[in-house]
Structure 1
Amino acid sequence: MKKQRWISILILIFGGIIFCSSVTIAKPIELSLGLIVPPKHLRYIHVIEPWIKMIEERTKGAVKINPYFNMTLAPAAEMFDATVSGVADISESYTFGVPGKFAMTEFLQLPETGFRSSLSCSRAVWHLYKTFPEVQAEYKGVKVLWLHTTPGMKLMLKRKPVRSLEDLKGLKIAVSGATMVKVGKALGFSPVTMPTADIYVAQDKGVIDGHIRPSELLISRRFFEVTKYGIENIDLGHDIFFVAMNLKAWEKLPPEVKKVFEELSGDWAVDFTGKAWDKFDKDAETEVKAKGFEFITLPPKEVERWRKLLAPIKEEYAQELEAKKMPGKKILEELKKLAEKVKE
């Protein structure tokens, strides 16, 4: 009896081993995510990281997204092409890193377009993408998951408060790309095209006197340590970002996984990002004010002086696009219609 019992036990054990070895445990689909920001950046904490978690949870572990921070996979200027080639499966980066490539998208980089918040401007740029095939063509070679923008950017200054146009004369101000150089020329300061990652050191060493960027960078990149003043009530444009996936990586995904990505991209992701960015931008302003940072509110007459100088830029930019056989006038008219519906 004992012998038969042991034989039965051995049969069960070996049978279990054979059965288990025949079952293939599915490995998750691993996707690399190229990022230009560090892990403590507010945009990663409040937008990208939650999005990663939602993708992984909704696919029930079938997808694992591995973030690579601080331009580990590619410099910002090469991030889009790195996504096209497959160096990065997914990436998030800004458009101004590749001068001229996203010319129509960057219409919303211009100042005083009527979209002050990240939410309204992100919706506007996504509307342009969905409406104009020419804008879609700027992203050839990738699956665009969504586009988004900063809240209205502000003029930030190291040590000299600016309370009038005259105070700008001679100042060297870091701007984000060739499109924003137009702002410097209009207002009378010296624009210096500079990546966001270089601003802290440049401002600390006195290479520049200030920068034009969203308030959240005062915390995200600790710019408040080298910045004392900001202009509160002039919208100096928006930086624009893409979140895109390599086409081959997209095509390999199972239908049920694609469905999850579609549900957590597009219109939903535009709103999710815009709302989050507006909140942490305001929270950053509150935090730096408590540290002694001063936001200057220009008087109404001074605001009108600035806006008068900035107003022609949009028409000039539209004409430049037309000269390159791009629908600059149509895009400008579409943005004007959208801006009329937005009250901010």
Structure 2
Amino acid sequence: MKKKLIGIIFFSILFTISSITTSSAKDVIKLTLNLAVPPTHQRWVLAIKPWIDEIETRSEGKVKIVPYFAQALSKQSDIYKSVVSGMADMGEAPFDRKPGQFPILETVFALSTPSIAVKDSTLMFNEFLQNLPQAKNELKEVKTLFVHLSSPAFIGTSEVAIKKMEDFKGLKMMSWGALSKLVSQIGVVPVGMPFPDVYMAIQKGVLDASIMTYTLLTDRKFGKVVHHVTPVTLGYSPFGMVMNKKAWSKLPKDVQNIFDEVNRDVAINLFNKFWWERTIKAKKTFEESMGGKTYYLSSGDLVKMDEIWHGLGKKIIQKTKVNPTGQAKIISEFRKLELKYGVSLNEAYGN
């Protein structure tokens, strides 16, 4: 009788623990995250994962974000669409990979002034969206958690060092969209191709140059085939961490508040710091460990490039199909923020 009673008590305890565990598991909100980067990528390690950890910690285990890496759910260009459709609850979507999808966001960063490098690029992007409702309206199909912007892109060459404007002439350079129109004005021959093919194309001499960043030179090993860099700003890559609207609406209010607080107080500064610190670290690695060299154009050449870019900017912005008044406001707002957050190339890269 005593053994039977002990057995009943034991199984009662097990049932209670099991019930608590099951109930607790049911209360966990699991959200899928569509990512193009692999788990070894520095943006995951230093920015995305810390953001996720902060969300999960503040929610005290109520939220679990499940990442799907390396385009496992969709191509990078389709991440936004995967979130809109509900294939994924969240995604880190690029805004410049599918022409025509985001007319303003894919165009405005091609208007960058060549002689200015924006170090606080993510801060600039977030303020740009706040100040321009028509740009923010392009993301109306999703809940935008936050946006972030890469460090400046520039020209990287394999054999020819670009030390003056004349050196651009005849260079076969990988480019796309509005940037192709701009670089053609300085004698570059723009060549369109998928980015995964660029390394081999440079290695085989099909391309002389490509739009490049210091992080690509080190993290993706482009520094093995690209030996020379001329940091004139050619643009930035815009991204957004977005959530499916239905998934957002189903979240309890306290969880929504946690997302809003972390996005505002942590994510924006985290990504802003990540982009520039990685750039400077990668520059040092490229120059000291990979034998790469950085060259700077004269102030006179930079003035010429600025004039060309600003002149064509008014034509390029017409692609947005915004009315003329709106186009002028887009350019004006971007130039204002560029000056607010930007510095000279020498100051940015420590020449």
Q: TM-score, normalised by structure 2?
A: 0.87
Report if aligned partners of 1:322, 1:329 keep a CA contact under 8 Å in 2.
no
> What secondary structure sits across from 1:38 in the alignment?
coil
2:147·2:240 contact (CA, 8 Å) conserved in 1? yes
Structure 2 counterparts to residues 302-341 of structure 1, below 5 A = 302-321=301-320, 327-341=326-340
Distance 1:326 1:148, change over 3 A: farther
Task: Give, in angstroms, the shift of residue 266 of structure 1.
Answer: 4.0
The number of equivalent residue pairs is 338
**Pairwise CA distance, 1:321:** 3.6
Distance 1:267 1:125 in 2: 16
Deviation per CA, 1:55-100: give whole Å up to 9, x if none: 2222222222222222221112222111111222211132111112
Partner in structure 2 of residue 139 of structure 1: 139
**How far did residue 315 of structure 1 move?**
2.5
Instruction: Note the C-alpha offset of 1:289.
Output: 0.6
Tell me the CA shift for residue 301 of structure 1. Answer: 2.4
- For 2:185 and 2:257, locate their aligned partners in 1 and report how far apart those are by CA, in whole Å: 46
Query: 1:245 — aligned with what?
Result: 243
Match of 1:269 in 2: 267
Q: Which amino acid aligns with 1:108?
A: F
Counterpart-to-counterpart distance in 1, 2:77 and 2:323: 22
1:239-267, CA deviations, whole angstroms, 9 ceiling, x for partnerless residues? 11111111122222222222221112246
Q: Distance in 2 between matches of 1:94 and 1:213?
A: 17
Alignment of 1:58-77 (within 5 A): 58-77=58-77
Q: What amino acid is the match of 1:110?
A: L
Contact 2:148 2:240 in 1 (8 A): yes
Q: Does 1:6 align with 2:3?
A: yes
CA RMSD, aligned part only? 2.4
Instruction: Give the alignment partner of residue 13 of structure 2, picking from 13, 16, 23.
Output: 16
> Residue 251 of structure 1 aligns to which amino acid in structure 2?
S
> Structure 1: which 4+ aligned runs deviate by more than 4 Å?
322-326
Partner of 1:256: 254
For 1:269, the aligned partner's letter is A
Q: 1:165 to 1:87 in 2, by over 3 A?
A: same
Partner of 2:346: none
Q: Secondary structure of the equivalent of 1:56?
A: helix
CA separation in 1, counterparts of 2:170 and 2:339?
36
How far off its partner does 1:141 sit? 1.5
Question: 1:152 offset after TM fit, Å?
Answer: 1.5
Q: Which residue of 1 aligns with 2:348?
A: none
Aligned twin of 1:35:
35
Amino acid at match of 1:248: K
In structure 2, the partner of 1:236 is 234
CA shift for structure 1 position 115: 5.9
Q: SS where residue 211 of structure 1 aligns?
A: strand
Asked if 1 retains the 8 angstrom alpha-carbon contact of 2:153 and 2:234, the reply is yes
Residue in structure 2 matched with residue 87 of structure 1 by the alignment: 87
Amino acid at match of 1:137: N
- Same amino acid, percent of matched pairs: 30
Please say if residues 142 and 242 of structure 2, whose CA atoms lie closer than 8 Å, have aligned partners that are also in contact. Answer: yes
Would the aligned equivalents of 2:114 and 2:306 in 1 still touch at CA under 8 Å? Answer: no
Whether contact under 8 Å (1:109, 1:239) holds in the other structure is no
Distance 1:267 1:53, change over 3 A: closer
Report the more deviating stretch, 5-14 or 316-325: 316-325
Q: Note the residue ranges of structure 1 that are not aligned, 5 or more in a row.
A: none
Q: Which residue identity is paired with 2:72?
A: T
Asked if the contact 2:115–2:302 (Cα under 8 Å) also holds between the matched residues in 1, the reply is: no
Q: Within 5 A, what are the aligned runs for 1:120-135?
A: 121-135=121-135
What CA distance in whole angstroms lies between the structure 2 residues aligned with 1:285 and 1:213?
A: 12
Conserved? CA contact 1:203–1:209, under 8 Å: yes
Q: Which residue number corresponds to residue 226 of structure 1?
A: 225
Pair 289,114 (structure 1): closer, same or farther in 2 beyond 3 Å: closer
Q: Secondary structure at the match of 2:24?
A: coil
SS at the partner of 1:101? coil
Residue by residue, what CA displacement relative to the aligned partner does 1:122-155 show, whole Å, maximum 9, x if unpaired?
Answer: 2222223223222122112211111111112111
Match of 1:206 in 2: 205
Secondary structure in structure 2 of the residue aligned to 1:311: helix
Match of 2:108 in 1: 107
